[in-house]
Amino acid sequence: MIILIVVVFALLGFVVSRKLKSKFHKYSQTSLRANLSGKEIAELMLADHNITDVKVVSVEGQLTDHYNPMNKTVNLSPDVYYGRNAAAAAVSAHECGHAIQHATAYSWLKLRSAMVPMQNASGKILNIVLLASLFGGFALGLPYELVGYIVVGSYGVMTLFTLVTLPVEFDASARALAWVKNRNVVTTEEYGMSKDALKWAAMTYVVAALAALATLAYYIMIFFGNRE
């Protein structure tokens, strides 16, 4: 069953990832009428929200764009940093949406950030328990039921993290789309492209959350499903 879950969601994730890359490539072919690069759009959006302590930098890779709250940087891949198209506009504005969330103490982002240490610790605990279970049953010498609580609890934290991530990503996209439209950074047609690109980017997080929920349900069934 766990293999089936992994395979199904791996395939679904692959399809969504391919679709996202396809959309990004498609919308990268049409230049913005405003002729602004991703870097320029990001800096303009930050300035419009009176954010002066966040830098916009270029990072290597494709679709490696992210906001780093630790050093307050909007990190854009070369295609987005230098790109002057609807896809670049959407992604750069989305990452600035996270910077705005940080600056305004957006509650879901605060919760997600607070959960990072718990999520990391849960991942390590889960790896230790599952790895130990491969050698002589449960090599840690713990009762089966206790192992169940550890596995379900740890994976529950990781699943909750993926769920909390969803409103953070959706909100960043909503902020991005509202700003590029109201600021006339994009035309009506370009807005549609930007919205579609961000929709498929959001789908990657939706798939991850669904996969986590399915896996958590499997562990609950395995450890506690046979109780009378």
Contact 60, 1 (CB under 8 A): no
Least confident piece of the model among 88-92, 139-143, 181-185, 216-220: 139-143
- Return the domain boundaries, the chain: 2-224
The pLDDT of residue 1 is above 90: no
Based on the residue annotation, tell me whether 95 is a catalytic residue of this protein: yes
> From the candidates 43, 95, 169, 190, which is the catalytic residue?
95
- Cα-Cα-Cα-Cα torsion 77, 78, 84, 86, nearest 10 degrees, comes to -30
Task: Render pLDDT for 137-175 as a digit per residue (tens, 0 to 9).
Answer: 555 567 778 888 888 999 999 999 999 999 999 999 999
Task: Render pLDDT for 6-61 as a digit per residue (tens, 0 to 9).
Answer: 788 888 888 988 998 999 999 999 899 999 999 999 999 999 999 999 999 999 99
Contact 42, 76 (CB under 8 A): yes
Number of residues in the chain: 228
Bridge partner list, 55: 73
